[in-house]
Structure 1
Amino acid sequence: SDGLPAWYPVGSLEVAWSNERLIDLRRKLGVARSWGVSADLLSPQHANDLIPLLSSQIQGALHVPSDGIARAVRAVEAMASDSESMGVEFVGNVVVTGFDIVDGRIRGLQTSKGPIEAEQILIATGIWAPTTGAMAGITIPLIPMQHQYAVTTPLEQLAGETEEVRHPVLRHQDRSMYFRQERDSYGIGTYRHEPMPFKSEKLPTTRQDGRAPAEREFIDEEFDQAFEYARELLPALRSVELDKRLNGIFSFTPDGMPIMGQSPSVKGLWVAAAIWITHAGGVGKTMAEWMTSGQTEWDTRECDIARFEPHALQDRYIHLRSMQQYREVYDIVHPLEPATEPRNIRTTPFHTRLVELGAHFGESGGWERPRWFTVNEAAAPPSSLRTGWEALEWSPAAAAEHLGTRERAGIFDMSTFAKFEIRGKGALRFLQLIAANQMDRPVGTVTYSALLTHSAGIRCDVTIIRTDPERFLLITGGSTGSYDLSWIKAQSNMRSDVEFNDISDELCCIGLWGPRSREILAAIATDDVSNAAFPYLVVRKLTVNHVEVLAVRISYVGELGWELYCPADHGARFWDIVWEAGQEHGALAAGTTAQDSLRLEKGYRLWGADIHTEYNPLQAGLGFGVDLDKGDFIGRAALVDARSAGVRNRLRCMTLDDPSRIVMGKEPIWLDGKIAGYVTSAGIGYSIGQSIVLGYLPVAGSKLGGRVEIEYFGERLPATLRSMPLFDPNNKRLR
């Protein structure tokens, strides 16, 4: 309405005040390139050319030319005007008082101006979203946080400035600050102060004392140190004072990501909350796709409201994790660094035994999961030692556990799997609909399958055990249990002939894998576990020292072995039985870090990294998890079309020419002088002495034996394209 732009494409600068930050900017440059964002690392002089006010003490800056400053109100006004011209009606000054929900479906809205009928409703109420969601009986896990922002008096150096914004957005992450030019003044935002949470239900809904509802009183003493740091970075600020001051309020979530998607408990009720202006355009596009077609172009696993496990919807958890997100918003955070609190939310029946063995725990989906065991460090080969960034959240014990599993046997705590019972007269028919593989197999078999979206993207990958003619056990990742179950149940369309039960906490599981695993199991089971009696992909009920065990002949590490499920209340005793029997055969406890390197050697894909909804099974090399001849299933038509069109990008395996080098994931892959993809998974294959990298590359030009480069902290590491799997390609050890 004021005739000024809603978007200023002025770019952005992230400056490095410390050498540590400069190194991290090299990493971030690689991430930007991986996502197709043009960026460069500038010298101090080149950065000063863009913002002449900068101190000469900076060590460099990351420049993103496509970045800029959005004026949210102007953008909203422009979109509203366009919408009204297309017949959309906006009704202002309305108070929402409740929702009409019938049989788990949204039917309408209660307001101060009367009811509104609707089959779909989107909650996009920002910092008020938790209060809005509560009216519908759903939890929207975000915390409104106060955040300090101030604008200086005019700067002499900007006198006569005619543009509202000319300088790039400036981020000073070593001091947790950012800056924006505002004509002849500068705006200063800071995260340096302690988090100042605000309860959603106590937020005002109208202007008070001349302040907007999302503004609170500015606290000068909280800003004093930040203003000194601002003057350190921009010396010209020493001659000005603060003019406008406010404590704005915006949203933080437990994992720092937006909250989007359809409520798992109320069909037709959608959420788009914790959306910063930086994400708004992409979120709007995605929500429009999702609500109209049920699918999105981009994978939404890290934003979907269904990603939160029940514990993550509790007030204390939301508060503590969101506070940590605020404190760390500009910190250099290692990708494997676990959250600090709350911890020990979910522990397996083996937890005490794992602690006794010196387990170093990570956290996933609320579960405490052992990454490695310090008791194994002494057995690690000297060549496995690491330094630098890749040595963080890692131990040489992982190498010892990897090799011990390959050479003897590893005992893994796999209890964190999500385990769902699907039963009823329609169970098989339903699974045939959602699973891409053949589910009509004999009782006592286990099947790996992809579950696809209607566009053939990989929504989940699961193993499904048929325990009875009308009963199946579906196994998926512990951190994605709620996420997967919400989607699976949504496909049932409330059919009455299928029943779903989450039995994740009722069963614990040991992964017993390695060439001596059969000898160990034979020593404790009363049943025949020979290959003839118990072949690959078969399921049997065993008795192990009076403990009833469901033994599943399958392996995620590429070795002979079993997943052994038993009732959780027998878990500690069952661990002791397996552990004691394993000692005669050199078995050792092994953690998730070793499991990851073992699966990389075998080329096993990891959902959420190597596979997700942006890729189909043909691209991912998971044709064995699909049966196109079994009849119709979700995604089949799209997969047939994709096969006819031909695969253009495929998951490839590479090894670094220098086997001592390591990359962490998400680094750009250079092919023929251009960035052609990015690293989805990486790690050392200790059995083969190679540094392994997985990533999607164009089929044309990425032939076996071909050469690529992986950009790691600004250095290009030569690599060679290899066939998968690198270890035991004929699966002789597995079977």
Structure 2
Amino acid sequence: MEQKKIIIIGAGVVGCSTAYYLNKMGQRNITVIEQGPLFETGGSTSHAPGLVFQLGFSKVLTTLANQTVETFKELSNKDQPSFYSVGSLEVANTEERLEDLKRKAGVGRSWGMEANILTPEECAQKNSLINPDEILGGLYVASDGIAKPLRAIDEMASFAESCGTKFYGHTEVTDIEVVDGQVKAVETSAGRFEVDLIICCAGFWGPRIGEMVGVTIPLQPIAHQYVFSNDLQELADETEEVTAPLIRDQDNAMYFRQVFNGIGIGSYQHRPLPVEVSEITKYGEAKEMPSVKQFTPEDFFEKPWQDAQKLIPGLKQAGVKRGINGIFSFTPDGMPLLGESQKVRGFWVAEAIWVTHSAGVGKQMAEWIINGAPTLDLELCDINRFDTYAQSPAYYKKRSIENYEKVYDVHHPFMPPETSRDMRVSPYYIRQKTLGAYFNEKSGWEQPQWYEANDWLVAKYEKTILKREGWAAEYWSPIIEAEQLHTRQHAGLYDGTAVKKRLEVRGEGALEFLQQLTTSNMDVPIGHVTSTLMLHELAGIKDEIKVIRTAASTFFVLCTGAVEASWIKKHLPVSSRIVIQDLTAGMCGLGVMGAKASEIMYSLDPQIFVRSEWEIGRAKEVFIGNVPVLAVYDSYAGTERWEFFTTSDQGLQLWDALFEAGREYQLIPVGDRALENLRIESLSLRNGKDFWSEHDPYEVGLDHMVDLNKQTFIGKKALIDRKEKGPKRLLTTLLLDDPSIVVMGYEPVFDEGKVAGFVTSAGYEYSIGKGMVYALLSPKSVNKESELSIEYFGQRYTAKIMTKSTAMTN
């Protein structure tokens, strides 16, 4: 393997984990630089209470936590364990929380984790400190526990040093040299280090390192309260640091762990306490370590302490020994910041990571650097996921603080953010507001979910509409279903501005560049539209994209988002004459779809939109009135669709022209939720929802987009190998037997009582009259066409694999 000169900045648990796994994979010539002492550096690792609750609604975070636990167990020895497997309890004080824990237990099974709902009495049996009268039940995860990161670091560092890695403590990074967009050297208080690759693992100091190379690291340090109780009578005989299960009381925004004879208590009840990076002291400049601020008792003792005593009555006699306000990093979306920056080649980031996910991140970072891709999909963690709007402190600081405030809330997948809104609006935003659009955010854009102006349609389709209840009815309106039904029968006008990134790839070599990047033949006539895939080096699907050839050496590319756009740009050779221009901000999109779509376009301009002159999968540059547009004709959701792209200054005029032309054909504005339902109903897949970079085209039924006769493309060799080995999962369509039930996504699917996979997308198929889902299942369950069941809030509902005959029969 190619040996690179690697500098890791930061010797906390993330930096040491990354060094450990790089060495395990054969990488050498690694240097770790730490501004504080080795290894109690003064960062978040040094004061972290070590609670590891692995299970969450995020598959990627759950997997990273699983890998961390496995690593820490491997690094344990009999006298100095790096992990105590004592289990955890998440308790519920409200019916809403208890229902959410049932949903979480189901998701645990989807992710391959065992989690069980317990009665209050059973919770007290697991941890006798709990007052069962204060709770309604709890979720028990036996494999959770307490991490001892400093012990793990000692083992990791010893192994790394045995492989030649050098560690420098009390060494400050003062500058980073970048030449022609590539890192070249790190200047430190101990001298200059030539580098090929830098990995920034500096924790909440990360933004300061990012500034040295002109890369924004959008995280907000926030102080968080943690106190230690005096000894409890109930724990008087304990000699081990921790034997009792951890406790998380999310209804009161608190967590608890045993610390020998006392209790450690963390609270999120207090007001946000943001800390500016410039205010954080260096090691040795404060009484305590840099990651610890002075305790603010007024934030703790008014309510949190009372709540803590109700749940654990033994605290009343014990009282509080001492408290700290420890600093942790929060991001706008609650996810870590990982990967190589698009702006500077060789500058990698592993930031905003808690101990819970630390070793898992180190493992994946090592795979990413050495193999070109991690085995786990990290799209949601990619440092490049934030467009320029989201790199402003005005955006990410407010959104990160909001994330802190809601960290223990019951999170609904359609719950809109409250802060940093109206960052991006389409040119027809004023029309959408007039029509009563209910907005959510999508890639920073204000995206209509449904329109109150369509409320009159509810009565029209009342006998057909499925009335949703409970969880499925939150952040929902029957208008969504009415828009879905009406579009199928007539036509809908939808805002496509936020749906995709819009890139122009042009110049000498553009065709060859796209041939290497995609799985299909890009050498098509001008005006042809090609739906194709991009694979990474391990043959996982990086994205499904649409490419329109607009000239001999010019291509219009529609990709999913900022991460996928950055991946395209990353593969552009340094000396290339190809220009990749991001047109997203200056261009808007509108679509007309439905049974009457072509009639509307013909009535608008019978000379341009003559159906005989258009074929499915064709694009032309035309005028609609005064507006120059790139018009694309294709099918979607089993019906005709026209998409139009123009410059933002012309967008409002385009909206008005299409809206007016559609009046006599009952054209309505359609929100994003109805569009999503139509997608599911039409068996169309979505990147990041139904498949991601862990899956290959054969597993998800997209192999028709692969041309193995092409001489080469990224991932081809690995794809052939994966094809020969056969799929690990198969994306399958299921129909729920009960016509009154819909699910939401990520629920476990059972085959004869055993977990066979999980739901990805979920909707309602009105032409059949049943709930419909896509599910990633084991090939065994798919091939024998089993009768399956889907667990939803602890209840199981029978489902069958949808076949062509099923659809035709209905």
**Equivalent residue, structure 1, for 2:739:** 659
Query: Is contact 1:619–1:650 with CA below 8 Å preserved after alignment?
Result: yes
**Equivalent residue, structure 1, for 2:541:** 458
Q: 1:516 aligns with which of 583, 596, 608?
A: 596
TM-score (norm. length: structure 2): 0.88
**Equivalent residue, structure 1, for 2:289:** 212
Taking the aligned partners of 2:270 and 2:411, their CA distance within structure 1 comes to 19
**Equivalent residue, structure 1, for 2:52:** none
**Equivalent residue, structure 2, for 1:33:** 109
Give the direction of change, closer, same or farther, for the CA distance of 1:4–1:706 in structure 2 (3 Å limit): closer
Query: Is contact 2:637–2:683 with CA below 8 Å preserved after alignment?
Result: no
**Equivalent residue, structure 2, for 1:581:** 661
Q: Kindly provide the amino acid, as one letter, of the partner of residue 633 in structure 2.
A: R
Q: Kindly provide the amino acid, as one letter, of the partner of residue 77 in structure 1.
A: D
Taking the aligned partners of 1:422 and 1:329, their CA distance within structure 2 comes to 41
Q: How do 1:110-129 and structure 2 match up within 5 A?
A: 110-129=187-206
Q: Which runs of 5+ in 1 are unaligned?
A: 730-735
Q: Report Cα offsets for 1:587-624 as digits up to 9, x if no partner.
A: 11111111111111111001101111011111110122
Taking the aligned partners of 1:549 and 1:247, their CA distance within structure 2 comes to 56
The list of structure 1 runs, each at least 4 consecutive aligned residues, that deviate by more than 4 angstroms after superposition, is 724-729
Displacement of 1:201: 1.9
Q: Report Cα offsets for 1:217-236 as digits up to 9, x if no partner.
A: 10111001111110010001
Taking the aligned partners of 1:122 and 1:547, their CA distance within structure 2 comes to 48
**Equivalent residue, structure 1, for 2:231:** 154
Q: Kindly provide the amino acid, as one letter, of the partner of residue 518 in structure 1.
A: S
Give the direction of change, closer, same or farther, for the CA distance of 1:105–1:174 in structure 2 (3 Å limit): same
**Equivalent residue, structure 2, for 1:611:** 691
Q: Report Cα offsets for 1:643-696 as digits up to 9, x if no partner.
A: 222334210000110121111111111112211111110011233322111011
Query: Is contact 1:446–1:539 with CA below 8 Å preserved after alignment?
Result: yes
Q: 2:218 aligns with which of 141, 155, 160?
A: 141
2:527 is the counterpart of 1:444: yes
**Equivalent residue, structure 2, for 1:379:** 457
Taking the aligned partners of 2:348 and 2:257, their CA distance within structure 1 comes to 34
Q: 2:617 aligns with which of 531, 537, 560?
A: 537
Query: Is contact 1:410–1:590 with CA below 8 Å preserved after alignment?
Result: yes
2:492 is the counterpart of 1:410: yes
Taking the aligned partners of 1:548 and 1:322, their CA distance within structure 2 comes to 40
Taking the aligned partners of 2:453 and 2:749, their CA distance within structure 1 comes to 37
SS at match of 2:628: strand
Q: 2:404 aligns with which of 326, 329, 339?
A: 326
Taking the aligned partners of 1:724 and 1:649, their CA distance within structure 2 comes to 21
Displacement of 1:38: 1.2
Q: Larger deviation: 558-567 or 133-142?
A: 558-567
Q: How do 1:326-405 and structure 2 match up within 5 A?
A: 326-380=404-458, 381-382=461-462, 383-405=465-487
Q: Larger deviation: 719-728 or 249-258?
A: 719-728
Give the direction of change, closer, same or farther, for the CA distance of 1:668–1:259 in structure 2 (3 Å limit): same
Q: Larger deviation: 373-382 or 292-301?
A: 373-382
Give the direction of change, closer, same or farther, for the CA distance of 1:91–1:361 in structure 2 (3 Å limit): same
Q: Larger deviation: 217-226 or 200-209?
A: 200-209
Taking the aligned partners of 2:575 and 2:259, their CA distance within structure 1 comes to 58
Q: Larger deviation: 161-170 or 680-689?
A: 680-689
Taking the aligned partners of 2:151 and 2:414, their CA distance within structure 1 comes to 40
**Equivalent residue, structure 2, for 1:688:** 768
Q: Report Cα offsets for 1:1-33 as digits up to 9, x if no partner.
A: 995322111111101111111111101101111
SS at match of 1:97: strand
Displacement of 1:705: 5.2
Q: Larger deviation: 694-703 or 248-257?
A: 694-703
Q: 2:313 aligns with which of 235, 243, 246?
A: 235
Q: 1:50 aligns with which of 126, 141, 145?
A: 126
**Equivalent residue, structure 2, for 1:9:** 85
Q: Kindly provide the amino acid, as one letter, of the partner of residue 82 in structure 2.
A: A
Q: Kindly provide the amino acid, as one letter, of the partner of residue 415 in structure 1.
A: T
2:268 is the counterpart of 1:191: yes
Taking the aligned partners of 1:251 and 1:472, their CA distance within structure 2 comes to 40
Q: Kindly provide the amino acid, as one letter, of the partner of residue 306 in structure 2.
A: E
Give the direction of change, closer, same or farther, for the CA distance of 1:728–1:520 in structure 2 (3 Å limit): farther
SS at match of 2:108: helix
Displacement of 1:469: 0.5
SS at match of 1:344: coil
Taking the aligned partners of 2:325 and 2:641, their CA distance within structure 1 comes to 58
Q: How do 1:665-684 and structure 2 match up within 5 A?
A: 665-684=745-764
Q: Report Cα offsets for 1:422-475 as digits up to 9, x if no partner.
A: 001100000000011111100011010111111111101110000000100001
**Equivalent residue, structure 2, for 1:274:** 352
Q: Larger deviation: 581-590 or 68-77?
A: 68-77
Displacement of 1:43: 1.3
**Equivalent residue, structure 1, for 2:557:** 474
Displacement of 1:340: 0.6
Taking the aligned partners of 2:80 and 2:725, their CA distance within structure 1 comes to 46
Query: Is contact 1:601–1:725 with CA below 8 Å preserved after alignment?
Result: no
Q: Kindly provide the amino acid, as one letter, of the partner of residue 202 in structure 2.
A: T
Displacement of 1:513: 0.8
Give the direction of change, closer, same or farther, for the CA distance of 1:515–1:438 in structure 2 (3 Å limit): same
SS at match of 1:560: strand
Taking the aligned partners of 1:452 and 1:222, their CA distance within structure 2 comes to 50
SS at match of 2:377: coil
Taking the aligned partners of 2:509 and 2:752, their CA distance within structure 1 comes to 52
Taking the aligned partners of 1:192 and 1:641, their CA distance within structure 2 comes to 52
**Equivalent residue, structure 1, for 2:299:** 222
Taking the aligned partners of 2:734 and 2:606, their CA distance within structure 1 comes to 44
Displacement of 1:556: 3.6
Q: Kindly provide the amino acid, as one letter, of the partner of residue 449 in structure 1.
A: T
Displacement of 1:163: 0.8
SS at match of 1:566: strand
Give the direction of change, closer, same or farther, for the CA distance of 1:632–1:209 in structure 2 (3 Å limit): closer
**Equivalent residue, structure 2, for 1:732:** none
2:180 is the counterpart of 1:98: no
Give the direction of change, closer, same or farther, for the CA distance of 1:618–1:241 in structure 2 (3 Å limit): same
TM-score (norm. length: structure 1): 0.97
Displacement of 1:119: 0.5
**Equivalent residue, structure 1, for 2:16:** none
Give the direction of change, closer, same or farther, for the CA distance of 1:356–1:229 in structure 2 (3 Å limit): same
Displacement of 1:494: 2.0
**Equivalent residue, structure 1, for 2:729:** 649
Query: Is contact 1:602–1:725 with CA below 8 Å preserved after alignment?
Result: no
2:394 is the counterpart of 1:312: no
Query: Is contact 1:409–1:588 with CA below 8 Å preserved after alignment?
Result: yes
Displacement of 1:635: 1.2
Identity %, equivalent residues: 40
Taking the aligned partners of 1:272 and 1:395, their CA distance within structure 2 comes to 40
Give the direction of change, closer, same or farther, for the CA distance of 1:374–1:126 in structure 2 (3 Å limit): same
Give the direction of change, closer, same or farther, for the CA distance of 1:209–1:632 in structure 2 (3 Å limit): closer
Taking the aligned partners of 1:554 and 1:624, their CA distance within structure 2 comes to 17
SS at match of 2:342: coil
Give the direction of change, closer, same or farther, for the CA distance of 1:722–1:541 in structure 2 (3 Å limit): same
SS at match of 2:355: coil
Q: CA RMSD in A?
A: 1.6
Q: Kindly provide the amino acid, as one letter, of the partner of residue 511 in structure 2.
A: L
Displacement of 1:554: 2.0
Q: Larger deviation: 74-83 or 302-311?
A: 74-83
